[in-house]
Amino acid sequence: MKEKSAPLMVVSLMMIMMIIRPCLGRFVVEKNNLKVTSPDSLKGVYECAIGNFGVPQYGGTMGGIVVFPKSNEKACKTFSDDEIPYKSKPGGHPIFLLVDRGECYFTLKAWNAQTGGAAAVLVEDDRIEPLITMDTPEEGAAQDDYVQNITIPSALISKALGDKIKKAVKNGEVVHISLDWRETVPHPDERVEYEFWTNSNDECGPKCDAQIEFVKEFKGAAQILEKKGYTRFTPHYITWYCPEAFILSRQCTTQCINRGRYCAPDPEQDFSVGYDGKDVVLQNLRQACFFKVANDSGKPWLWWDYVSDFAIRCPMRAKRFTKECADRVIRSLGVDLKKVDECIGDPDADVENPVLKAEQEAQIGHDTRGDVTMLPTLIVNNRQYRGKLARNAVLKAICAGFEETTEPSLCLTPDIETNECLENNGGCWQDKHANLTACRDTFRGRVCECPTVQGVKFVGDGYVHCEASGLFRCKINNGGCWQDTRGGRTYSACVDEHTHGCKCPPGFRGDGVRSCEDIDECKEKVACQCPECNCKNTWGSYECSCKNGLLYMQEHDICISKDGSSRVGWAFIWVITLGLAAAGLGAYVVYKYRIRRYMDSEIRAIMAQYMPLDSNVEIAGHDSHESI
Ligand SMILES: *[C@@H]1O[C@H](CO)[C@@H](O)[C@H](O)[C@H]1NC(C)=O
Ligand SMILES: *[C@@H]1O[C@H](CO)[C@@H](O)[C@H](O)[C@H]1NC(C)=O
Ligand SMILES: *[C@@H]1O[C@H](CO)[C@@H](O)[C@H](O)[C@H]1NC(C)=O
């Protein structure tokens, strides 16, 4: 619960150190969208403020229905079974528990909501005011144990919206809302810039432990992203300065370097024991310089190794928080120690240190980012990260800084996915039988995309339809087509050469996808129909045998005798032979007749030369003959 503006940081032991800009600090409340989808009377997009704990689903959305408890409205006590009137069942709608602000820490409300089965907690403000950021309790004030275990996202909503939702629920309406974090991190380009404001002090309790735990846990992901050019990471260190009047005081000389210019609080808050603030500033400066030198040599990711190795090898507890120990770590990482020392310069000199000066300037907020006054602070694409400082939660926020489809593959790995595919297959296409699905979990939520399996690409809308395409498509699940084996014979409706679709093979009919039915060639009289034929249907084909020891010729669908001729054949040959004979006889008769006629006309012509004949008769006779 805070809105910390820090014109003046009053550090323990009455030590006064000032943050670089002594005017009003600026604190930016990070927001995301809350969309009410039903009832109609409430439909719309509202603002809510992201809590600084739990795991906001950066880059994604989350839908559910709003429920508020029958009693324990402020959620300061553990919920009993009947206090939350509706329990989310597997496959059911997630529950957004709406609770009232006040009486206890925001984190306790979230924890009670989480243990009560809620998927998210909405805290209704108890006064009319601009939204604030719900924060974790001050150190030591609560058991950090449960705070670290909060995994549900939380949002503060205005009193006006909360009251409207309550009214609707009381009237028996079901209020569906969706929380949307997609635009929470801007994505101006293909690279995500992020900053981590930290501290080399390892003895400040849970906050320091959380910082170093985070560095160790996030190192692997950070280095992959940096090496591949997806991100530009910059570590930062907060320092304070000593007001002019106190520069020569014991406080300032033990807490500051460069004559009161750069200070850090004493780790034990006791000047007489252990390390001084000065030692912390120096180690901070060494880490900043290490980054600068590593960055200049093109290997900025070495910072992650240095900081985690330093924490392991040179802890304050073991009294190894020294330059010698730090130098050993630097040397083992192969970074130029001389350059690091040059960058650090002389801490006792009355001069500016360019690196720390730049750090102090960077503390001042600009654009969408507030002043940095707290440790640790993570800033992604110039927006302050809200939520738990844990690998997957932070990775989600960084991944959300990429335009969709340009995110690195690390963002699509199983450990930061949303597991939405587990429920009803995310509403995507699937073929349970072949164990194929179009549902893919990503940190943004699930996407329905037809899969590529063993090099075979599936095409379709991904929701209701996907089918294998291209060469070898029949290899996967038989291309989604019908296939069956009986008595050692397999028939398939998939044809590799066809780019898509299924077609029942000859002898079958059907849609080719779910079924192909055998065609009964005998009943349907499509084959084996000769009188001597004896038809027997088989699966996918038919068998035809002939009576009286005849042989079946499938090409002609006839029966023939075993010596090479069938009765049908005989009859046929007889017809042909007789036909040929008749034709031959006819031709002979015509020939004979024509010869005779020819001779007749020759004789007549010869005779006409000797005696007059009636030429008219001759022509008429000739004509009648030609017309036969
Ligand atoms: C938090 O989680 C840790 C590790 O999973 C577990 O040991 C601890 O008991 C949890 N704390 C609470 C309050 O549930
Ligand atoms: C790190 O190096 C890049 C170029 O290599 C440069 O643009 C960037 O400003 C450097 N960052 C720091 C903090 O020196
Ligand atoms: C289905 O496939 C997934 C991944 O390809 C595998 O993990 C799972 O065990 C398979 N399930 C069955 C029933 O084959």
At 100-153, the pLDDT tens digits run 999 888 999 999 999 988 889 999 999 888 888 888 876 655 456 788 788 889
Query: Which tokens go with 77?
Result: 């006590």
Ligand 1 centroid to 142 CA: how many Å?
14
- Phi first, then psi, for residue 139 (nearest 5°) are -50, 140
Q: Which ligand is nearest to the CA of 148?
A: 1
Pocket test for ligand 1, best of 53, 111, 149 (most atoms within 8 A of CB): 149
What does the pLDDT read at residue 13?
35
What does the pLDDT read at residue 619?
39
Query: Which tokens go with 435?
Result: 């164990």
Q: How far apart are CA 173 and CA 38, in angstroms?
A: 9
Question: Which among 389, 411, 393 is positioned nearest to 402, based on CA atoms?
Answer: 411
Residue 572 backbone class (left: φ over 0; alpha: ψ -120 to 50; beta: rest): alpha
Q: Whose CA is nearest to atom 1 of ligand 1?
A: 149
What does the pLDDT read at residue 574?
61
Ligand 3 centroid to 62 CA: how many Å?
26
Question: Strand order of the sheet with strand 467-469?
Answer: 452-453, 456-459, 467-469
**What's the pTM value of the predicted model, to 2 decimals?**
0.63
Residue 39: cis peptide before it, omega within 30 degrees of 0: yes
Ligand 3 centroid to 435 CA: how many Å?
6
What does the pLDDT read at residue 117?
86
Q: Whose CA is nearest to atom 1 of ligand 2?
A: 295
What is the number of the ligand 1 atom nearest to the C-alpha of 149?
1
The whole-number average pLDDT for the span 504-515 is: 90
> What is the per-residue DSSP string for 10-58?
EETTTEEEB-S--S-------EEEEEEEESGGG-EEEEEEEPSSS---T
The whole-number average pLDDT for the span 542-548 is: 84
Ligand 2 centroid to 225 CA: how many Å?
16
Q: In this model, does residue 568 exceed pLDDT 80?
A: no
Q: Which helix (H) or strand (E) holds 533?
A: strand 533-538
What does the pLDDT read at residue 603?
62
More confident residue, 42 or 618: 42
Ligand 2 centroid to 295 CA: how many Å?
6
| Residues counted in the chain | 628
Question: Which among 370, 211, 235 is positioned nearest to 295, based on CA atoms?
Answer: 235
What does the pLDDT read at residue 610?
54
Q: CA 338, 340, 343, 344 torsion: positive or negative?
A: negative
Q: Whose CA is nearest to atom 12 of ligand 1?
A: 146
What is the number of the ligand 2 atom nearest to the C-alpha of 296?
2
What is the number of the ligand 2 atom nearest to the C-alpha of 234?
13
Q: How far apart are CA 400 and CA 57, in angstroms?
A: 9
What's the pLDDT band for 18 if we cut at 50, 70, 90? low
Mean per-residue pLDDT of the chain:
81
What does the pLDDT read at residue 20?
45
Pocket test for ligand 2, best of 193, 195, 295 (most atoms within 8 A of CB): 295
Ligand 1 centroid to 206 CA: how many Å?
15
What's the pLDDT band for 544 if we cut at 50, 70, 90? confident
